[in-house]
Every structure is written in C-alpha cells, then in structure tokens.
Structure 1
Amino acid sequence: MAIHDPVSSDVVASPRVTVVVATRNRGADLARSLSCHEGPVIVIDNGSTDGSPDVVREGFPHVRLVEAGRNLGAQARNVGVRLATTPYVAFADDDSWWARGALERAADVLDTHPRLAVLAARVLVGAEQTIDPVCAAMAASPLTTEPDLPGPSVLGFLACGAVVRRSAYMAAGGFDDVIFFYGEEERLALDLAAAGWGLAYVNDIVAHHLPSGVRDPRRRQILAARNTVLTALLRRPWPVVARAVLASACSGPVGRRGLGQAIALVPRALARRRRVPLRVEAARRSLDRHDPDGTGTS
C-alpha cells in the first residue's frame, strides 16, 4: 500500500472533519468531484487501472492519496479513517461531494450531541437535485426521535451522505470484508446501535450525488441480493435469515445469483456472526414492517 502525502494546500480546511473518498476506475468523476471538497481530503484508490492516482497527484496536490494496490471494497474507507486526525470523518464517493458549509454544520451537530455516531445527511441526486429515495425513507423513519439526537433515529445510511464520529467508527470495526461493497452500511449501523450509539437523519445538512456513468446496474442488483442475506446472517435471528434466503431464491436469476455468491461466503459470515441485542432487533423489525422492500435505511 503506497501513501502519497500532500505537498501543498490551497484549501481552507475544517479542523474537525476529514473527507474520505474511496475510488476505483473513475478518474473522470474523481477529477470533477475533488474540486468541490472542503478539505482535508484523503483518497483511497482501490487498485485503479485507468490512471486515477495520476489524476489526484497531478490535479490535486493538497489531497492525501493512498494507493491500496487492490480492491478493498468498502474497507478502503477504514484506511482513510485510520489516517484521519480529526474527530469526525465525512464519506464521499468519487461521484459525490458535500455542499459548501455542510461539514462545519455537521461538526457543530456532532459536538452538541455526544452520543451521535452517524449523521445521515440529505443527498440530492443529479442535475435536478432530487432527494435520494433512501433519504426520504430516513426522514419518515418510524423510530422515535430520541431526545439526545438531532433528528429521526435510523438503522442505516448512505455512506456518501454520512459524517461519522471517528472514535465510534473505529470501535465498531468500520466496514467489513464479508459484505465488501454495496449495502455495507446496515451491518455497521446495527453494530453501532448495539453498542449504544445513536444514528440520526439530519435534513438540513446536504451532500450532492451526480451518479457516475461507469456503473453496472445488474451487478449492483446481484450484490444487493447477496448482501441482504449476508447482513442477516451476520447479525439477525435465524428466521430472518431464512426469509432473506427464500426472498432471494424467489426473485429471479439476479436474486439466485446473489444467493449463490452469498453461500460461498457463509463460512466467513458464520465465523463473525453476533446477534444484535433484542432492543436493536425490535427496532430493525419495526423498520422491516415499515419498509417491506427491504432498503434497510429508514
């Protein structure tokens, strides 16, 4: 793993928040989004072959670049969080960025609410700036708004629209190599809640997402099916696991392929299985009833 430290800085940085960006083979998107970030910024390159590291080195010398040398998936963010020296870390994808002033506001909210581990922001998508459906679901969360939290309680989030308390994230182990990528947020959310941390949606803090054209929708559907099963296996009761398996098996070729990939990872998942406390499972079940399509984020 190669780390390239910045040689200069022309960005006024918040002393409380570091932006961590994980990227792979999206150099054009990265060139656009990095110019929008308020620093400090750490980019973790997941083994790109399209010259993405050169984009960072040549165009953004103030950005700290880590070349992982291989695809770490969502775990790349763990590398960035470990390197960050600020109390809070904001995640961004290579095709997303935070609105001006949003991170200072997020830091103020986190300072004011010491039990808050994840601040889930409003994500506006595309040139039309429409609210992401996941954020709309979080805003309508059936979980109570706890008196020591700044908004509706949630048990999931969009990583590209989340600011985390670094100490809580590190204590929970960050993202894992079972889920790897896509839908990786739910397992972490469950673990943070199990440890007593709060997660809340804060509507007035905004991130922007201009979805990359370099995407494979079918692959993402397969990953969603796979990771729904694996997340249940990692943290939830056996009847929930059985329902997830059945739903995947009955959802056509994409679901069955995702289930096949999940089966290959069962030994690894079982080795790390740890059921969440009853209070967290009860909250998760209330979201299941509210969110029958299973986005896991409301």
Structure 2
Amino acid sequence: MSPVGLSVLIVTYNAGRDIDTCLELLAASRIERPYEVILVDNASTDGTPERVAQAFPRVRVIAERTNHGFAGGNAVALAHATGETILLLNPDAFLRDPEALPGLMAHLDAHPELGAVGPRLTFPDGAHQVGDAGYEPRPLSILVHAGGLSGRFGLRGLYLASRQAGGRQALDVDWICGACLLLRRSAIDAIGGLRSPMFLYGEDVDWGCRLRDAGWRVAYLPGIAVVHLQGGSGSTRSARWLDGLAAIYRLRNAGRALSSPAFFSGPLRLGFTLRALAYGVAARLRGQPDLARKAEDMRRFAGHLRSLRQ
C-alpha cells in the first residue's frame, strides 16, 4: 500500500449511529492531502462494522473478535496505517467545522518540535468539556484540582479549566484527550507505539506524559473546537475515569513521596464532596436541574474514590 499524508484511526464498540455522523463530517473536512481511514471494531454486537463497510466503502474496517480496549484498538489500527501524521478520532467526536482538522495539521506541520496537538472539546451546546487536556498527575496537580484552583494564580491542575481554554493562543500541556488527537508518527515511534497499561481511560494521559519524557512538546489549540458527545452534557457520567487516573498516578509517581493511592483519593474525595454540597445548594436556590445533576455526579465520584485500594 502506498503511504499517505494522514491516517485517521477510529476505534468503535457498539458505536450506534454516532459513527455515521463522525465519518460524514470527516469526509466533509477540507483535507488537502491524501488520507486513509482505518476503523478497528472491538467486537461490537450492534452491527457497527458491517454497517460502516456498506455505507462507507473508503473506510478500511478491521472487525476484531476481542475487545482490545481503546489503546489496544488504536495499536491494531496503527499497525495498518501508512501516514506520517496520525489522527485518533472517537466515533462520538464530530468535526463540525470543516477547517478544524486542517487547522490542527497546519499547526503540527509548522512546529517540528511538537509531537501532538489537540483541539478544545465542547459539548453540543458549545460549552467547554473539562478533561480535554491537562497536566501530569502529581501531588501538586491533584491538590490544585481538588481545591478548584486550576488556572488560578498560575496553578496547574489535572485538567485545563474552562478559564484556561477560553483563549486563542496555543498552550503547552502534558496531555490531550484521545477523542481527537493529532500525532506525529515519529513521536509515536519514540514512545514505543500506542500501547498502554490502561484498558480504558487514562491512555491519553499516559501517551502525553511519555511524549514529554521523550522531549516532544504537546500543544492544545483552544481556537479550534470539536464536538465530543461524551454521553451528552446532561447525562450521567461514568466514574470509571477515576480508575484510569489512579493507575496513571501510581505509574507516574512510583517511588516518590506522597505517591500512595490514599494521597491520590483523599484530596479528590474531599474536593468532590465540597463541590457536591455547593452544587446542591445552588440547585435549590436557582431551581436548575443541571446543577442538581452535577451535584449527583460529584457525590458519585466521591463515593467511587472510597472503593479504590488504599
């Protein structure tokens, strides 16, 4: 197979109709270079691979009989990719702006020191989706995040706060969410590929930190927006992301002071509990159901942290 300029890697698992929208908007993007789309399906039971193969003949579909997880599925796709630039794209990440992907590629091309770039992720209503980029899980970033101080007084928390993601200038970060992540192939090679000890959640944090370890910069472009459903802004959010984050924290802080799981979970549990109280009071005073849902999410996250191994 002849090499192309860009390989788009998509991993699906019971993706429903989201993947149709994803692929349609990808095709409508103004990509002025040869590209390929490789879709690895992680043993879906809803007919995703068959439907995609029929409706999108340009897409190379690899139907796996085993669920390899997010990192494992992308590793399978990467083995078949020929591009020098690699885009990881979730099936529920929508390139509604046809200039979004060209903008990401142009920035990566213009800065050879960058190993990866990513956009600001938003919910369908345009609200910033916290968790689209951030910094290495360290004791200080845990405390900053738990205290709700990300972006204040120059402090860096686990995630970029919305106040940090509201500008136009590129920001140096440690990692970018894998829902829409553009990488240089040589940078991927430098970190040994796209495998990760995490099955689901935390792989993108792992990759970004390893890129920084290898001397590459990682850039977040808040001026480019991509819609990411993530279940929708009003739905219940899974707490499983905390498991992946805890695993990354243990991995990145092994042998260091304050590296115990208790230090990871304790400050976050307190922070979530206080936020649950604040959102609950605000929901009652303002009569806003979305604040009540946020309060319930915070309570659930705090409860989940109690189940982590101490």
| TM-score, normalised via structure 1 length | 0.70
Write the letter of the residue equivalent to 1:239.
A
Match of 1:224 in 2: 241
Secondary structure of 2:259's counterpart equals: helix
- Shift in CA distance, 136/56, structure 1 to aligned 2, threshold 3 Å: closer
Which of 88, 102, 115 in structure 1 is aligned with 2:113? 115
Match of 1:200 in 2: 219
Which of 145, 156, 160 in structure 1 is aligned with 2:175? 156
In the comparison of the two structures, how many residue pairs are matched? Answer: 237
CA separation in 2, counterparts of 1:84 and 1:240? 41
CA separation in 2, counterparts of 1:198 and 1:49? 39
Larger Rg: 1 or 2? Answer: 2
CA separation in 2, counterparts of 1:255 and 1:217? 17
* Shift of residue 195, structure 1, vs aligned partner: 0.6
1:122-145 deviation digits (Å, cap 9, x = unpaired): 22221x1222223586895867xx
% identical aligned pairs: 27
Write the letter of the residue equivalent to 1:254.
H
Secondary structure of 2:172's counterpart equals: coil
1:78 and 2:75 equivalent?
yes
1:194-214 deviation digits (Å, cap 9, x = unpaired): 11000011123332223447x
Write the letter of the residue equivalent to 2:68.
L
* Shift of residue 23, structure 1, vs aligned partner: 0.8
- Shift in CA distance, 66/136, structure 1 to aligned 2, threshold 3 Å: closer
Which of 9, 13, 16 in structure 2 is aligned with 1:27? 16
Secondary structure of 1:57's counterpart equals: helix
Which of 95, 98, 101 in structure 1 is aligned with 2:99? 101
Match of 2:304 in 1: 254
Judge conservation of contact 2:133–2:176 (CA < 8 Å) in 1.
no
Secondary structure of 2:67's counterpart equals: coil
Write the letter of the residue equivalent to 2:38.
I
Question: Please, which runs of 5 or more residues in structure 1 have no aligned partner?
Answer: 6-14, 144-149, 264-298
1:171-198 deviation digits (Å, cap 9, x = unpaired): 2134445211112211111111011000
* Shift of residue 225, structure 1, vs aligned partner: 2.5
* Shift of residue 235, structure 1, vs aligned partner: 2.1
Match of 2:299 in 1: none
- Shift in CA distance, 253/137, structure 1 to aligned 2, threshold 3 Å: closer
Judge conservation of contact 2:84–2:184 (CA < 8 Å) in 1.
yes
- Shift in CA distance, 216/84, structure 1 to aligned 2, threshold 3 Å: farther
- Shift in CA distance, 62/78, structure 1 to aligned 2, threshold 3 Å: same
CA separation in 2, counterparts of 1:151 and 1:224? 26
Write the letter of the residue equivalent to 1:66.
I
Judge conservation of contact 2:119–2:180 (CA < 8 Å) in 1.
yes
Write the letter of the residue equivalent to 2:187.
A
Match of 1:180 in 2: 199
* Shift of residue 46, structure 1, vs aligned partner: 0.7
- Shift in CA distance, 212/227, structure 1 to aligned 2, threshold 3 Å: closer
Which of 120, 129, 134 in structure 1 is aligned with 2:131? 134
Alpha-carbon RMSD across the aligned residues, in angstroms, is: 3.0
Write the letter of the residue equivalent to 1:129.
G
Question: Please, which runs of 5 or more residues in structure 2 have no aligned partner?
Answer: 28-34, 136-149, 157-168, 270-301
Which of 47, 51, 55 in structure 2 is aligned with 1:55? 51
